[in-house]
Structures are given as C-alpha cells and as structure tokens.
Amino acid sequence: MYNELHSNERLIWTEEARRNLFTCPIFSIRESSCRSPDHELRVFTVLDAPDWAIVVPVIETEHGKAFVMVRQWRHGSQALSLEFPGGVFERGEDARSAAARELQEETAYSAGKINKLGDFNPNPAIMSNKVHFFLAEDLDPLESQNLDDDEYVEVAVVPINEVCRGMGKPPYIHALMGSALMLYTLYQQNKAL
C-alpha cells in the first residue's frame, strides 16, 4: 500500500537562507539556500512576483456564447497574442477584486457574476507566485477601457469553438490561456453532470 506521508517526508527540502539578487517593478530574483532530504545544502534561483488573476469572460451573442478576449503585443515572444484579460494583483488586493478590476480595465465590461475556477503555480520549479482563474458572466458594457499607460489592448469577442480549435497556435500562444480554457471546460462539464 502506498504510504503518502512517508513518501512526502523524504521529498521535502528546507529553506535555510535567502539572498536578493535583483529587483525590478514586476518581479525580483533571489537565491534560496535549501537543505535536501539527504541534508546536502544547495542553492536555487527563485523568481518572486505578485499573484496574477486571469478572467474568462463569457457573453451571449446572436451566434451563441463567446469569450471576450484581448489582443496585445507580448515583448517576450515578440508577437501578438489573443488572451483572456488579466494581470497582477495590486498591493493589498484579493484575487476576486483583482479579477473584476482587470476585466473592467482591459475590456470595458463589468461582471454580474464572478466565480473562481481554480489556481495554478505558473512554473513552481522557479517561480513563487500563483495565477488565479475566474469565470465572469452576466457582462455589462462600460463606457471605456481604463488601460495602464503602457497597455495597448484591442477587445475581441470570439466564438468559444474558435478559441478551442485555435488554442496552442497563433494568436493563442500564451500557455496560461490554455490553462484557463481547460478550467472553463471542466467547469462546464461539471455543471452538466
């Protein structure tokens, strides 16, 4: 029989010290000195960043349900990306508030209902933060977007089946959007049960 407690204990590392290496407005990098289960001391590099919220906004159109998405330039990939709205938490903000704010700022929609779909660590090998996923429904249009001064975002209403067929190919290149779509799909399947 599998002994989960015994198995987990022999896998856990203990952090003994931290040293900041670099800080910029959106993340910091630190060295983490950790003791292995075999008592060896090793140094790892960890990227610390605020948590993120990603919102899956669903709207009813004359052709059926669609996602409200945003198209924007991504500097890392040097390409346009079509994504669900989202962004980093502001200081002291909780996940649901961050999701509602990002939806309004980027798409000029507010949501009558926002439900948590789940959360992930974007890359737990090297990153300490989480990304929180929400479903936004009962959308109401607002007067205009409220973008940051370095955001250039175009809103697109895209049929759900088009996003499902395109995920993993340009312009659906952001891996976290695949996670958001999977959580939305699981939510829909569970709702149908």
Rounded Cα gap, residues 38 and 35, in angstroms: 8
**Cα(16)–Cα(41) distance, integer angstroms:** 9
Q: At the top level of CATH, which class does the domain 52-192 belong to?
A: alpha beta
How far apart are alpha carbons 88 and 91 in whole angstroms?
A: 9
Tokens (6 digits) for 152: 């250039």
Q: Mean pLDDT over residues 34-56, rounded?
A: 96
Q: Which residue ranges make up each domain of the chain? A: 10-48, 52-192
Answer positive or negative: Cα dihedral of 173, 109, 106, 86: negative
How many angstroms separate the Cα of 19 from the Cα of each of 29, 123, 179? 9, 20, 32
Provide the sign of the torsion angle of the four alpha carbons 152, 154, 160, 163, taken in this order. negative
Across the chain, mean pLDDT equals 94
What is the reported pTM?
A: 0.92
Mean pLDDT over residues 55-70, rounded? Answer: 96
